[in-house]
Chain A
C-alpha cells in the first residue's frame, strides 16, 4: 500500500472536471455595471489561509461563510466586519473537497462536498442537523480513478453533488452533480420526492451535462446551471423544465437575491487555466430580472483583484453587495453597487480588471 501511495502521489496528473468547451456569450448591448471593490474584506488570523475559495454565503446577520479547499477542506465563519469568528467542522467526516455552501432562511449552514458525496446541514452554531448522501466507505480500499460508466443514480446516494437550495416550503433541492447528471427534490425531512435527469449525460429537455449550481426563487422555481450544455435551465417546483437561457455563455453558477424584488446573477466564469483568448471572451457576470431580462454585466478575468480567477460561487443576499468566491486566486472579493439598476456613468472608484493588488 505504501508503495502504491507513493507511486500514485508521484504521478499526479491533471484529471479534474471534464473539459468542456467554454462558450462566449452571444447577448449584445449589455451595459457595464460600475462597482466598488472592497479590498481584503475578510481578515484571516495569522497563519491561516484560504485555499480554493469555491463556496461563499452570508447569513441574516451579515456573517460570511467560506467553504474552501485548503490542504484539507475547511469551513470558516467571519462576522459582518470581516473578522474571523470560527472554524466549523474541523476534522468532520463529511469534509473532503468543498463545492458549495449556502445558508437557509433560518441561518442553517449547508455544505456540499463533492469529495465525500455529502450534503450537510449545520445549525447556526455549527452542529450537524441532517445529512444527505453517504461518504464512500473507506473499507473498500483505494479505488481506481478515473472510474468507468456512472452507476445508476440512487435516491439517497449522491455522486459528486454540486449545490443545494430550498423552496419557501423548505423542500430541499440538490444538483447532483459531476457523475450523476440530475436534480433531486427531497422534502424538508430529507425524504426523496422526485428527480429530473439521471446518471447519464444528456442535452435534451430534462437532461443535464454537469448541473454545477442551483438556486430556488421565491416562486419555488429551480434555477440550474447546466454547465456542460452552456445553459441555465429553470424548473418548476415539480422539476418540470419551463425555460432555458442560452445566450449568456457557460453556466458556471447562479445566485437569486433576497428581498421582495428578486434578481438573478449568472456567471460566465473564465475557465481554469487562463487559456489563450479566454480573458477576452469570458469572466463576466450578468444581472437579470427573473423574467430573463438582462439588466447589466460586470467583471473581467485577471490575476489581481478586482479581476476574476474563475468565479465559482457568489452570494447575493443583498443584490447591491455581492460576495464572490474564486477558484484559482484563493480569494473572496466583495463588490458594492450603488444602485439596483445599471448606472449610466462610470464610477470613479471602479477599477479595470487587473489594476492594483490588494
Chain B
C-alpha cells in the first residue's frame, strides 16, 4: 500500500510470462553528457517524471521533490506540495522555477511543450493538466484537485472508462494534434484517453480497463504524429496501441516488452522512441530504449537498466525534439540524462 505506484508499475511490467522484445535489435551507440543540468546550490531533483524542451532548446523538468504533507487540526485532511517545475537553458544552466507553490503540483506526472512553446504539466495526484504560457502564467486548466484526501485511504474502483468530462483519475500524459486538439492519457486510475478541443471543451473519450483492442491496463504515455494518429503505451498489456484522431483502433505493436515513456520526432521521417522501462524493484532486466518507425519496425535500441551513466532507472520521460539528442527523465535515479546518439 505504501508503494502503490511501485506496485502498479511492477505488476504492470513483470506480471505474467515475459514476451521477448526485439532484444536482437541493433545496438545504437550513444553517450551520456556529464552534468547535463546544473542545479543551484541547495536545489535538488527528486524523481523525474517529466522532461521536455522548447523551440529554443530550454529544458523543463517536472520532479517529485520537497515534502508532500497532510495538515492536521483541520475540518478535513488537506494535502500540500511535493512537486516542482524547473527551467534550464540549452546548456543546462538553471534559469528559474515555474509554478512555485502551485495548487496543482503534488505528484509529478509529465511535462510537454506545445508548438507555441506553452508548457503543459500533468500531475497524477492533483489530477490536473495545466497549460502555462512561455512566461509561466496559467492559460488553461483541465481537471480539478480533490479538496481533501480520504482517511483511511480508499482504493479507486472503476472500469477505467471515466466520465465524459474533465475529471481525471491519475492522468499521466498530454499531447496535441496539428489542429490543437488536446489528448490526455487518463491512464493510472482510469484507462482512457480523453480528447478536448483547443479551448478545453470536452469532445470524447475512449477506452476502459481490459485487454481487447482499444482497452488498456495502464497508459503511461501518449504521442500524436503529424497525421493526428494517437499512440498510447499500454504498458500492462505490453503493447503500443495506435488510434486515428477520433479514437478508432488502427493497430498495435507488441515488440517492446513493457512500453512506457514515448516520444515522436519531428520532420519528414519521424521515429518513435519507446522505453522498455524497468520497475523500481528490478534493475537486472529491461530498461533499454527502442527507436522504431511509426509502423512499429524497430530500427535499433540502446541502454539498459542500472544506476550508472548510460543506464536507466525507471525511465518516465523522453524528449526527442532533436532526433539524436535525447533527454531522458528517470524516476529511479532522480536525474535527467542528456544522450547523444551516434
Contacts and interface: CB of A to CB of B under 8 A. Distances in A.
A226 interface: no
A92 interface: no
B103 A160 contact: no
Contact of A8 (B77, B101, B103): B77
B154 A71 contact: no
A142 B146 contact: no
Given A10-B153, A142-B70, A70 B103 contact: yes
B80 A304 contact: no
B97 interface: yes
Nearest to A358: B139
Contacts of A8: 70, 77, 149-153
A167 interface: no
Interface in A290-306: 302-304
A345 interface: no
Contact of A274 (B72, B80, B165): B165
Contacts of A331: 138
B155 interface: yes
B163 A11 contact: no
A97 B2 contact: no
B90 interface: no
A7 B2 CA distance: 5
Interface in B48-95: 68-82
Given A70-B101, A70-B102, A159 B75 contact: yes
Contacts of A97: 74-76, 78, 147
B100 interface: yes
A304 B199 contact: yes
A71 B167 contact: no
B249 interface: no
A137 B142 CA distance: 35
Interface string A315-341: 000000000000111110000000000
Interface size for chain A: under 10, 10 to 19, 20 to 34, or 35 or more residues? 35 or more
B200 A71 contact: no
Interface in B14-55: none
B144 A115 contact: no
Contacts of B77: 8, 142-143, 145
Contacts of A17: 147
B74 A116 contact: yes
A91 to B, nearest CB: 13
B105 A71 contact: yes
B115 interface: no
Contact of A13 (B72, B74, B142, B154): B154
A47 B141 contact: no
Interface in A135-172: 135-146, 159-160
Interface string A177-212: 011000000000000000000000000000000000
A96 interface: yes
A5 B103 contact: no
Contacts of B81: 71
Nearest to B83: A71
A49 interface: yes
A120 B199 CA distance: 38
Interface string A8-27: 11111111110000000000
Nearest to A15: B150
Contact of B148 (A7, A16, A116): A16
A287 interface: no
Contacts of B105: 71
Given A145-B150, A329-B141, A52 B1 contact: no
Interface residues of B, number: 54
Interface in A1-60: 3, 5-17, 47, 49-52
Contacts of A72: 80, 101
Contacts of B243: none
A176 to B, nearest CB: 11
B156 interface: yes
A251 B200 CA distance: 26
Contact of A10 (B5, B163, B165, B200): B5
Contacts of A15: 146-150
B253 interface: no
A141 B74 CA distance: 10
B125 interface: yes
Nearest to B105: A71
Contact of B140 (A50, A274, A357): A357
A69 B125 CA distance: 16
A144 B152 CA distance: 6
Contact of A136 (B73, B165, B199): B73
Contacts of B139: 357
B199 A47 contact: no
A117 interface: yes
A12 B125 contact: yes
B247 interface: no
Contacts of A11: 1, 4, 149-150, 153-156
A121 to B, nearest CB: 20
A138 B79 CA distance: 15
B124 to A, nearest CB: 10
A268 B68 CA distance: 35
Contacts of B72: 138, 141-143
A276 interface: yes
Contact of A114 (B75, B100, B149, B167): B75
B166 interface: yes
A328 B146 CA distance: 11
Nearest to A17: B147
A244 to B, nearest CB: 28
Nearest to B155: A11
17 contacts: A8-B152, A10-B4, A11-B149, A11-B156, A13-B156, A16-B148, A47-B100, A70-B103, A141-B72, A143-B72, A144-B151, A144-B152, A275-B163, A275-B165, A304-B200, A327-B144, A328-B141
Interface of A: 3, 5-17, 47, 49-52, 69-72, 96-97, 114-117, 135-146, 159-160, 178-179, 272-276, 279, 302-304, 309, 327-331, 354, 357
Given A47-B100, A49-B103, A138-B72, 19 more contacts: A8-B70, A11-B153, A11-B156, A12-B125, A16-B146, A52-B103, A69-B103, A70-B101, A97-B74, A114-B75, A115-B74, A115-B75, A140-B73, A145-B77, A274-B165, A275-B165, A276-B164, A302-B199, A304-B199
